[in-house]
Structure 1
Amino acid sequence: MEIVLLGTGAADGWPNPFCRCGSCLDALRRGEVRGQTAALVDDELLIDCGPEVPGAALRHGRTLAGVRHLLITHAHSDHLGPQALLSRSWVEGTDELEVVGPPGALEVCRPWVGPGDPVRFVPVAAGDRIAVGGYDVRVLPARHRVFDDGDAVLYDVTGPDGVRVLWATDTGPWPAGWFAAVREAGFDAVFLEETLGDREDISDAHLGLGRFGRVIRSLRSVGAVDDHTDVVAVHLGHHNPPLDRLLPRLREHGARPGADGEVVSCGASGPTRIAPPTRQP
């Protein structure tokens, strides 16, 4: 399984374009601009699609022409830019696109799809398990909501070759009982949000460094994360410390920050990472 991180930033990216905090200025100086978090799997499965994502795919040398399945976690605007469906409809001869997500997110999409567009909507809820092309997808709950409880989900995705990854953004800390759903999963990679850094007082619907660490420890305790799992922090926001201070704090939890444009390849030999090109400040 090849996972391209099309973005690794929070809703406002990192740096926030309106901010002069030390964290934003450091990222700007280094030329590391993170866009809205999303991933492209094997060039055919797209996980979340905020309005920045189609352009990000092109900037990272990828095309979305082969995407046949779109998994939507929830309808917040950084995770769902339904106008992409209209852009897709302007291309002749496209294959059917399967759009999977909570019913509320699908309702946001429907006005952007014409009656003849080859788009099929598949509503899901936490606890469902469905086949999405050649992928086995388990739908997990999220401590997050748009308007109602249950209208945000996470995804546990197993590929045709048995590689298994967890896509866990957006969410606050899980209740203890939720971890049973991923017991002994032995994920090859976990992409877990870490939005708030040291400002967990801002929201209980996201993870900061403290909650991130507790979730990882709980995942380890049930065998969902083990020594071979690549634990990648995504949905990173500017309430985090500058990168040189963030790196050691994530390492304490056996994790690392994702980077826009990086490729994570998971296979029998374990995850490997192809870093994006180095940007010059």
Structure 2
Amino acid sequence: MKILYMGTAAAEGWPGLFCSCPVCSHARAAGGRNLRTRTQAMLDDDLLLDFPPDTYCHALNYGLDLGKIQTLLVTHSHMDHWFPTDLIHRHEHFGHGAEGVLEIYGNEAVEKAFYDHILIDRFKPHPIDDVVHFHRTHGGDHIRSGAWEIVAVPADHDKREEPLVYICKKDGKTVFYGHDTGANLSQAAWDLLAAERFDLVSLDATMGQKTIGGYHMGLPDIEPFLAKLAALGCVDSHTVKVINHFSHNGEMTHDQLTAWGAARGILAAYDGMTVEF
């Protein structure tokens, strides 16, 4: 199995769109892996995780034919993870040759945003019911999509909706994709995680050297979270461990994040990073 990290930043991007803080100024000057678009990933070329405003540039940057994708998991409705207007372009009027139906899974707020963006007067002549299906999803749901077995896990994030993180399984490999979430998961969430043995774990590290006690994680949360997974038998020395979804407000450069991870056997994701496992 492989995962492609197409975007690895929080909502503002990195450097932040209107920001001149030291970390953003450094990123603009240094370029390369210091430049991060909004978080999105793809598993095995056929399962898409989130749909941010940067999806179009990701498709260009990585030579992707998104018309072949038939499974999209959306974590929550925040704009850096969910930009549904672009999905109208799966209609034959805008794009030709998309394969089958794109099955989208997300919570009620994600569903509402989807229909609010698609069911507008301008798009009424181009209904996408035949090419995009939305499935309202709740924590604890078990999903089968193509060759994938997926478990939706309640996240520790925005209390105004039901944010989800996902366990994804195929061909004997299992991934935990944990963005966006804090470390304070519910018992129901921990029970779902405890039932699995992970080949790769990707964890939210938005806050960098800080911790805010929920909503997002920072580096001080990562090792205790991994230790709990290890105590449950979910991870071991063979599990690939990744930190991802970084904000400039974490006040760490790419090199600093990489060094922190290297000292602990953890990869710091960057835009374009592919991990095979």
The reply to whether TM is greater than 0.5 is yes
Map 1:1-281 → 2, pairs under 5 A = 1-31=1-31, 32-89=34-91, 90-94=94-98, 95-111=100-116, 112=118, 114=127, 116-145=129-158, 147-148=160-161, 151-159=162-170, 161-175=171-185, 177=187, 178-183=189-194, 185-201=196-212, 204-238=214-248, 239-265=250-276, 271=277
Contact 2:37 2:54 in 1 (8 A): yes
Q: Secondary structure at the match of 2:68?
A: coil
Q: Secondary structure at the match of 1:145?
A: coil
Q: Which runs of 4+ in 1 moved over 4 A?
A: none
Tell me how large the CA RMSD over aligned residues is: 1.9
Which ranges in structure 2 are unaligned for 5 or more consecutive residues?
120-126
Q: Secondary structure at the match of 1:34?
A: coil
Q: Which moved more, 1:78-87 or 1:234-243?
A: 234-243
Contact 1:179 1:218 in 2 (8 A): no
The residue type paired with residue 157 of structure 1 is C
Alpha-carbon separation, structure 1, partners of 2:228 and 2:186: 8
Q: How many residues align?
A: 262
Deviation at 1:117, TM superposition (A): 4.0
Which ranges in structure 1 are unaligned for 5 or more consecutive residues?
266-270, 272-281
Deviation at 1:252, TM superposition (A): 4.5
Q: Secondary structure at the match of 1:70?
A: strand
Deviation at 1:253, TM superposition (A): 4.2
Contact 1:173 1:206 in 2 (8 A): yes
Contact 2:67 2:97 in 1 (8 A): no
Deviation at 1:37, TM superposition (A): 0.7
Contact 1:11 1:235 in 2 (8 A): no
Deviation at 1:181, TM superposition (A): 1.8
TM-score by length of 2: 0.88
The match for 2:122 is: none
Deviation at 1:235, TM superposition (A): 0.6
Q: Secondary structure at the match of 1:65?
A: helix
The residue type paired with residue 70 of structure 1 is L
Alpha-carbon separation, structure 2, partners of 1:138 and 1:253: 28
Alpha-carbon separation, structure 2, partners of 1:101 and 1:116: 17
TM-score by length of 1: 0.86
Structure with greater proportional helix content: 2
Alpha-carbon separation, structure 2, partners of 1:173 and 1:153: 13
